[in-house]
Structure 1
């Protein structure tokens, strides 16, 4: 397969992020820590981290910041 085709395809395919994964990403985009997000959503910081790890994996990235960047580019989350 052509590597360029794979890169283009990766940017156009939208993975099925759960509502909670999207919500956690949206809070990260607002500068909130896992502890802060957990307090807002009534979850443990570890559960928030788990949602963020799953979201990053689905988006094909390694960090929460990369996940937010990809989410914004794909229109999955909005930032003010």
Structure 2
């Protein structure tokens, strides 16, 4: 995995807001080197984003965690 630049963070945020239809989505730079870039919705961190570069091609993987306690009650 390769670090995500400030420019990439801004571009990712724009892309993900458009794709997911969520203006409250933010992509947050890590507070210090070596930590993951965070994906948040309305200020609540819901996952991380990782950058991968293979044979000159760059891709980004979003890992999102949903806690069972955040799900609506079962019917």
**Structure with larger RCO (C-alpha < 8 A, sep 6+):** 1
More helix by share: 1
**Structure 1 length-normalised TM:** 0.30
Structure 1 or 2, whichever has the larger Rg, is 2
